[in-house]
Chains A and B, each alone.
Chain A
Amino acid sequence: MNAPLPRWADLVLLPAVCLLVALLVAAAVVALVGQSPLEVMMALVHGAFGTLRGLSYTLYYATTFIFTGLAVAVAFHGGLFNIGGEGQAVMGGLGTGLAALYLSASLPAWAMLPVMLLAGMLFGMLWAAVPAYLQAYRGSHVVITTIMFNFIASSILVYLLVNHLRPKGNMALESALFADSAKLPGMQQALAWIGVEWPNSPLNLSLLLALLACVAVYFFLWRSRAGYRLRAVGSSPSAAEYAGISSKHQTLIAMAVSGALAGMVGMNEIAGVSGKLILEFVGGAGFTGIAVALMGRNHPLGILFSSLLFGALFQGGAEVAFDVPGFSRDMVVMLQGLIVLFSGAMTYVIAPMVSAALRLVPGVRHG
């Protein structure tokens, strides 16, 4: 039995210690394959944060992770484990892309971009609402159905690209390019408007959208009545029932909001970068979102930081794989795995140790 950790230690110290342990284990593996852990770590940090260009890529990856991480977190607060972020992001991107394909020629950017955002959110929302309905009213578990819906979503995207959206005679599996009005300005372009020079990168204004989403999710969950009710159902369905809150409705709401957040991924990848509907634009970010939410303790601020961390791993890892011979991209995946392991599952092993260590420090009050 250990006294609970003080709040600051729980929120800051513990994740930092977990991260450190994960890095140490990763360092051991790096040493085992015959590379200098310090050198690899330096290359990774430099690749992720050392240059403006590297930083831009880090932030670009982080943007997508924020969307999918928030999606998992909102569902989690409603007592649901949404594994379907991947599929909802695919469908959201499809909505964004379809809106752009059919409307970008006739709408100006100020109208086109919001329509694309709304279409993405709507598609993601509807895609998440089906498993939610099945759980609420038919009793099929959302974990199972959302996993299955991931496969269905990617198949739908493939089908549409192969049979309907691909321009005639084009061998690549992608749609036609959108008109310019459907292009979300890149960060280089946007910063140029205010006279700041910034390197060319996929980073675009959807980062601001992601930050806005963090704030919105915070206000939704902890300041709005809807969020209060959602959390009540997530924490205690029986108490919520007593309070007159329908857990069925809340299941639908939680999943709809979750799906809408995942559906915003398209704004980064489709509207911000590719400018056309492509395959694999989500690339597993829906699953990474689970790790991001886990590490970020399902809190928007935590998710912001853990997205940054995972973005840095993606970007830094790519640089390391490029710079350090014998160090493949798989090593980065391993590092991510270790971080998920230590910050998720192993937290409960590490927490008592941190607690015991804190007790040795005089003057620390226990929560």
Chain B
Amino acid sequence: MTAAAPLAVHMRGIHKHFGAVQANVDVSLTVRAGTVHGLVGENGAGKSTLMSVLYGFYRADSGSIAVNGREAEIHNADDAIALGIGMVHQHFMLVDTLTALENVMLGAEPHWLLQRATAQVRGKLEGLMQSTGLHVQLDALVADLAVGDRQRLEILKALYRGAKVLILDEPTAVLTPQETLQLFEVLRSLRLQGTTIILITHKLKEVMGLCDFVTVMRAGRVVQELPIAGATIAGLAEAMVGRKVHIGRVEGDAHTLGEVLLNVQGLEVRDALQVLRLSGVNLQLRAGEIVGIAGVSGNGQSELLDVLSGLLTPSQGELTVLGQRFEAAHWLDPQTARKLGLAHVPEDRHARALVMDFCAWESAVLGYDGLPQYCSGPWMRQQAMQQATTDMMERFDVRPRDPALGSAKFSGGNQQKLVLARELGQAPQVLLVGQPTRGVDIGAIEFIYSQLRAMRDAGCAVLVVSSELDEILALSDRVIVMNQGRIAGELAIADCTEAGLGLLMTGGLQ
């Protein structure tokens, strides 16, 4: 790991433009063999474009690439694989209906007889799993694998194809804290065995904990490249955003708690297979507070959000929200919730919060198309909708400011800002937010936090569900920890420690 170590990847003077957008401007990247190299930057900074050039998805307009000291022409992913470059995408490229083993083999079958091929691949994979410590049940269907397992499988797939340089695109975005720790263990052991790893991320904590070197990109250019010893989180964040940012806790004035706006008692939710997802949940939200729900993903937080916003009907429970009482037999529905003044920023931006095929202004009125300013009788008032979207984009700094652009064409952070603009726009009294900053970059995180705090200060009752403990600690006035569908504990923010919360989250303390 000295400076004299050979360069696994050396990209020089890479230019790439899409239409009028300069995605990469004179980008140079030097990745030393056997290191973990962090590539950080906000969404749209050009990290993914750069890696797509390296992996052969895009051709650079100009510039050169050398792999292991040799000049390389990479026209497609096959060229990249032949050069020993493997990529693990953020969204897994796996076939759900095939087994883990079949997925690894897919496209690289060593023999035309399936049985022989399977046996050969199995032998090789078992050796690989032994040496790397990446363990996956080879005969399980991918559909039955947990997210962490799927990611290990993707890494195995790349290694099986001979990857010596492994590109990981936002690998921890979908992982629980525990799975993240496991992944890092694996990456460290891979590094020990000489694999070079390029880690695309915007979680600076991970960079500090894992990487040997880090390259910071902003607006298509490299702004910093330095060994980790010389980096600080604050310094990297500033380099990424171009100004000082603060996303930690803001100790504001002590604010007064108002009346109870949402009160749910004895909540019990069963899924389609009658498995208990939530049980015995009691929860109160008061005006002027942010309540954080912490927990390892899959412990009932998603169901709680869905049931409180009317998307899911519980099997038991009572809900009083903004003066209206509901029972399991006659539960709240999303339209009624909105009418009462309850807004919901869903966890899943792609599947729920936006219609990806719609243009921005159509998505920006989703759920609110019946408001008097947006319609006249059965007709939509398109002008009013577009104008309102322009205003939302202005207020929440959504870029690009084009209401006619397709919802899918915005970056994750800008999509989230658009969703927040929509949900906050009608001055709700109760606000439910799931994963407020998943896939959102630092500059936008700071902004989203300030908006959520502003809602609280204006007397809104805010419920935040997040799998990021830092986020819970930065935002909440009160923290509720969920474990296995139950409330495992409740703490005032002053009493919260990461260790204590971690213990509650894993069910260590009852």
Interface residues of A (CB under 8 A from B): 1, 3, 223-226, 228-229, 231-232, 235-236, 238-244, 365-367
User: Is B382's CB within 8 Å of the partner chain A?
Assistant: yes
Contacts of B354 in A (CB 8 A): 236, 239
Q: Does B46 contact A (CB under 8 A)?
A: no
Give the residue of B20, B362, B379 whose beta carbon is less than 8 angstroms from that of A224.
Answer: B379
Q: Of all chain A residues, which has the CB nearest B352?
A: A242
Contact residue among B309, B358, B382 (Cβ-Cβ distance under 8 Å from A235): B358
Q: What count of chain B residues pass the 8 Å CB interface test?
A: 35
| Residues from chain B with Cβ under 8 Å of A242 in the complex | 309, 311, 334, 344, 346, 352-353, 366-367
What are 20 residue pairs bridging A and B, where the CB atoms are less than 8 Å apart in the complex?
A3-B18, A224-B379, A225-B369, A225-B370, A225-B380, A228-B362, A229-B369, A235-B356, A235-B357, A236-B351, A236-B354, A236-B356, A239-B351, A239-B354, A242-B352, A242-B366, A243-B334, A243-B366, A365-B19, A366-B18
**Pick the contact of B57 from A1, A229, A236 — CB < 8 Å?**
A1
Q: Is A231 touching B19 in the complex (CB atoms < 8 A)? A: no
Which are the 6 A-B pairs with shortest beta-carbon distances? Answer: A244-B335, A244-B334, A243-B367, A235-B357, A242-B352, A238-B351
Contact present for B352 and A238 (CB under 8 Å):
yes
- Report the separation of the CA atoms of residues A286 and B19 in the bound assembly, to the nearest whole angstrom: 42
Task: From B333, B355, B382, give the contact of A244 (CB < 8 A).
Answer: B333
How many angstroms from the CA of A232 to the CA of B352 in the assembled complex? 11
Q: Are A1 and B58 in contact (CB under 8 A)?
A: yes
In contact, B334 and A223 (Cβ under 8 angstroms):
no
Chain A residues, CB < 8 A from B356: 235-236
Alpha-carbon distance A231/B363, docked complex (angstroms): 11
- Chain A residue numbers with a CB within 8 Å of B382 are 223
Chain B residues closer than 8 Å to A1, beta-carbon distance: 52, 57-58
Tell me the complex Cα distance, A223–B362, Å: 11
Nearest chain B CB to A247 CB, angstrom units? 13
- A226–B20 CA distance with the chains assembled, in angstroms: 37
Report whether B366 and A225 are in contact in the complex, using a CB–CB cutoff of 8 Å: no
CB–CB B367/A223 < 8 A: no
**Which positions in B face A, CB cutoff 8 Å?**
18-20, 52, 57-58, 309-311, 333-335, 337-338, 344, 346, 348, 351-358, 362, 366-367, 369-370, 375, 378-380, 382
Cβ-defined partner of B380 (8 Å) among A228, A235, A238, A241: A228
Across-interface contacts of B378 in A (CB, < 8 A): 224-226
A1-B58, A242-B344, A244-B333 known; A236-B367 Cβ under 8 A? no
Query: Known contacts being A1-B58, A242-B311, A242-B346, is A232 close to B366, with CB within 8 Å?
Result: yes
Listed residue (B333, B357, B382) with the most chain A CB atoms within 10 angstroms of its CB: B357
**Chain A residues within an 8 Å CB radius of B366:** 232, 239, 242-243
Contacts of B375 in A (CB 8 A): 225
**CB nearest neighbor in A for B310:** A244
Known: A238-B351, A244-B335. A223 touches B380 (CB 8 A): yes
Residues in A whose Cβ lies below 8 Å from that of B353: 239, 242
The answer for the CA separation of A224 and B379 in the assembled complex, in Å, is 4
- Given A225-B378, A232-B358, A238-B351, 14 additional A-B pairs, CB 8 A: A223-B382, A228-B369, A232-B366, A235-B358, A236-B351, A239-B366, A241-B352, A242-B311, A242-B344, A243-B369, A244-B333, A244-B338, A365-B19, A366-B19
Are A231 and B358 also in contact (CB < 8 A) when A3-B18, A225-B370, A238-B352 are? Answer: yes
Chain A residue with Cβ nearest B18: A3
A241 to B344, CA, bound (A): 13
Instruction: Identify the closest chain B residue to A239 (Cβ).
Output: B355
- How distant is the Cα of A241 from the Cα of B352 in the complex, in angstroms? 8
Q: Which B residues are CB-close (under 8 A) to A235?
A: 355-358
How many Å from the CB of A16 to the closest CB on chain B? 23
Q: Residue of A at shortest CB range from B368? A: A243
Question: B379 touching A225 by the CB < 8 A rule?
Answer: yes
Residues of A within 8 A of B357 (CB): 231, 235-236
- Collect the chain B residues with CB atoms within 8 Å of residue A244's CB: 310, 333-335, 337-338, 367
B227 vs chain A, min Cβ distance (A): 34
Nearest B residue to A241, CB-CB: B311
CB-defined contacts of B337 to chain A, threshold 8 Å:
244
- What's the nearest-Cβ distance from chain A to residue B342, in Å? 12
Residues on B with C-beta less than 8 A from A223 are: 379-380, 382
Contacts of B309 in A (CB 8 A): 242
Q: Nearest chain B CB to A212's CB is how many angstroms away?
A: 18
Residues of A within 8 A of B362 (CB): 228
Q: Which residues of A contact B370 (CB under 8 A)?
A: 225
In the complex, the chain A residue whose C-beta lies closest to that of B375 is A225
* A241-B355 Cα distance, complex, nearest whole Å: 11
Chain A residue nearest in CB terms to B56: A1
User: Chain A: which residue is nearest B357 at the CB level?
Assistant: A235
The complex places the Cα of A224 from the Cα of B374 at a distance, in Å, of: 11
What is the bound-complex CA distance between A143 and B338, given in angstroms?
Answer: 35
